[in-house]
Amino acid sequence: MSSPDDTQPTISRTDDGSPTLHSARFDQHYHNPKGALSESRHVFWEHARLPKRLTQADTPISIFEVGLGSGLNLFMLLNEIRALKKAGSKIPSSIQYTAVEAFPIPLNTAFQLGFDEVFEHINTKDVEQIFSDLHPGLHTISFDKELQVHLWAGLFDEFVPPEIILPFTTIWQDAFSPDANPDLWTDDVFRKLKRWSAPEVIMTTYCAAVRARAAMCVSGWHVARAEGALFKREMTVAALDESLLSDYKRVNEKRYAQRWADGEFQ
């Protein structure tokens, strides 16, 4: 008799009705239990300024997500693109979305999440296209005319981005917390992300940990505090061009970088 695979995530509903997963491997939820979709809209949509950027038809968009996970953020993007098109808005002719994922979820879990019911413009075929064959390596999937999805099934550390997707203009840093998933919050990670990014890049994350912000600062990112989603006090917005952070209160970047360099977070 086969025993249940206890490394596979389990599904739960969050308070806004949208689904999330719980990872036994990391002992964490993939999203805020108070509202997965509400948090994603706040952190990865509004603060990433995508509503504005997506309607600037001539601006190329290349989004990089650290952790595909359930695909919620990707389906949010695809849903918004389709909604904008339906409303007759002009959107960029080429939108690239790239994500890394070391532990892809099985297709049946992806179906059970029910994204076709959460999002008006997502159907089960979309879910199948993403999750049906995520064997290790790089997969490229085209959606509609505008969106190309590139999925690296493997560790972030082993990912080498193909030139065609560079530079990134948006980064969604959606790893598990720095305590649970420290590999994805190091200075090396943020240096790589900087190297792969365009001058106008905006990086957002739900995380407000000093340790995460310090790793960003020591790697050359400008870092600011923003109001968190769903009663969380803060989240983080980072950029290479500091003028993009003029609406936010900045952290003390020199001090944070020094604290990292002094080994306070090792």
Ligand X SMILES: C[S@@+](CC[C@H](N)C(=O)[O-])C[C@H]1O[C@@H](n2cnc3c(N)ncnc32)[C@H](O)[C@@H]1O
Interface residue list for ligand X (CB under 6 A) = 30, 65, 67, 69-70, 72-73, 100-103, 155-156, 174-176, 181, 183-184
Q: How far apart are CA 221 and CA 144, in angstroms?
A: 34
Nearest CB to ligand X, comparing residues 30 and 260: 30
SS3 177: coil
Q: How far is the CB of 133 from ligand X (least distance, A)?
A: 17
Residue number with CB closer to ligand X (116 or 183): 183
Burial class (CB in 10 A: 0-12, 13-18, 19+), 2: exposed
* Integer angstrom CA distances of residue 174 from 17, 40, 70, 213: 20, 10, 11, 14
**Minimum CB–partner distance for residue 70 and ligand X (Å):** 3
Nearest CB to ligand X, comparing residues 159 and 265: 159
Which CB, 37 or 61, lies closer to ligand X?
A: 37
d(CA 97, CA 193): 15
- Minimum CB separation of residue 22 from ligand X in Å reads 11
Q: How far is the CB of 204 from ligand X (least distance, A)?
A: 12
* Of the candidates 27, 106, 91, the residue with the CA atom closest to the CA atom of residue 61: 91
Q: How many CB atoms lie within 10 A of CB 97?
A: 25
Q: What's the min distance (Å) between Cβ of 67 and ligand X?
A: 3
Backbone angles phi, psi at 153, to 5 degrees: -85, 95
Q: Which is nearer to ligand X, 19 or 92 (CB)?
A: 19
